[in-house]
């Protein structure tokens, strides 16, 4: 019998690579997509050797509007369909809204918001036809916090993913698709290359170690949450506490707290 297939964006490193490892360990075939083909090939070889699954590599840049359709067309050519989708691709855009170009901001929105939503829209009909589907949108604890100076669109995009995931999960249940679940995974600070890529490693290395989580438990909790139909999951006790605090602290105080901490982990130039 053909194994189920999980499509993972941003699979070349960090949380995306960990999703690939955990789904492969569960016996799923995986489709890995990111810009860096060499890293994907290395990961694919590892998974096929260790778990005896099929790992499909599709090198695409989600900043290109044609990428979502091309990724799914490549799978269709191989006779495969998507049973689980992990929208993980993302990055931080250093600097302020004033200092960055609209091209940079537009690409950011395309990769972190538009492309994930398009992939969801494209895979959902097949999931509904087969009566099964799992979608994990990797959002962020930042989606709960007040907006901050620098990395201006990051929190708003992640907040949008949270609300979209809640709505889509509710929609699936309302329409009778009881085994199609959508979850927003909202990690806090997670050990990965994310902060190296956006130039904030120096700032984040000064933060207390207790604020950080490894990718493995973050991903595990995301998979467990989507399987039980939980629309939003904040992994880790510290992160859960911070998410709760963001809801109960008066908004002016919350904004002041974020403003005071922004320069510790935001690169303004």
Catalytic residue numbers, as ranges? 154
Tokens for 245, please give them.
């605090």
Read off the tokens for 249: 């602290």
Residue 60 CA to residue 221 CA, distance in Å, equals 28
Q: Which residue is it, tokens 């979502």? A: 68
Q: What is the Cβ-side half-sphere exposure of residue 217, based on CA atoms within 13 angstroms?
A: 12
- Rounded to an integer, what distance in angstroms lies between the CA atom of residue 140 and that of residue 113? 13
Residues with Cβ within 8 Å of 99's Cβ and at least 6 positions away in sequence, in order, are 269
Torsion of CA 143, 149, 154, 155, to 10 degrees: 10
What is the spatial distance between Cα 159 and Cα 147, in angstroms, rounded to a whole number? 10
Dig out the tokens for 260 from the structure.
């005071």
261 C-beta neighbours (distance < 10 Å), count: 13
């Amino acid at each position: 019998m053909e194994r189920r297939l999980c499509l993972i964006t941003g699979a070349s490193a960090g949380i995306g690579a960990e999703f690939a490892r955990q789904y492969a360990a569960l016996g799923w075939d995986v489709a890995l997509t990111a810009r860096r083909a060499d890293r994907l090939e290395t990961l694919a070889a590892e998974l096929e050797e260790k778990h005896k699954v099929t790992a499909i590599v599709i090198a695409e840049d989600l900043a290109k509007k044609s990428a979502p359709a091309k990724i799914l067309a490549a799978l269709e050519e191989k006779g495969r369909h998507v049973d689980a989708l992990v929208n993980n691709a993302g990055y931080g855009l250093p600097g302020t809204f004033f200092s960055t170009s609209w091209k940079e901001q537009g690409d950011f929105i395309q990769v972190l918001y538009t492309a994930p939503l398009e992939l969801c829209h494209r895979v959902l009909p097949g999931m509904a036809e087969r009566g099964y589907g799992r979608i994990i949108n990797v959002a962020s604890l930042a989606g709960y916090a007040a907006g901050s100076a620098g990395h201006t669109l990051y929190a708003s995009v992640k907040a949008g993913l949270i609300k979209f995931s809640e709505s889509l999960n509710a929609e699936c249940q309302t329409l009778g698709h009881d085994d199609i679940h959508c979850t927003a995974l909202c990690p806090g600070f997670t050990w990965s290359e994310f902060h190296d890529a956006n130039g904030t490693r120096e700032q984040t290395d000064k933060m207390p170690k207790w604020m950080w989580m490894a990718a493995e438990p973050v991903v595990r909790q995301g998979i467990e949450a989507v399987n039980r139909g939980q629309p939003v999951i904040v992994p880790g006790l510290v992160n859960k506490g911070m998410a709760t605090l963001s809801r109960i602290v008066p908004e002016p105080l919350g904004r002041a707290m974020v403003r005071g901490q922004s320069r510790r982990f935001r690169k303004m130039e």
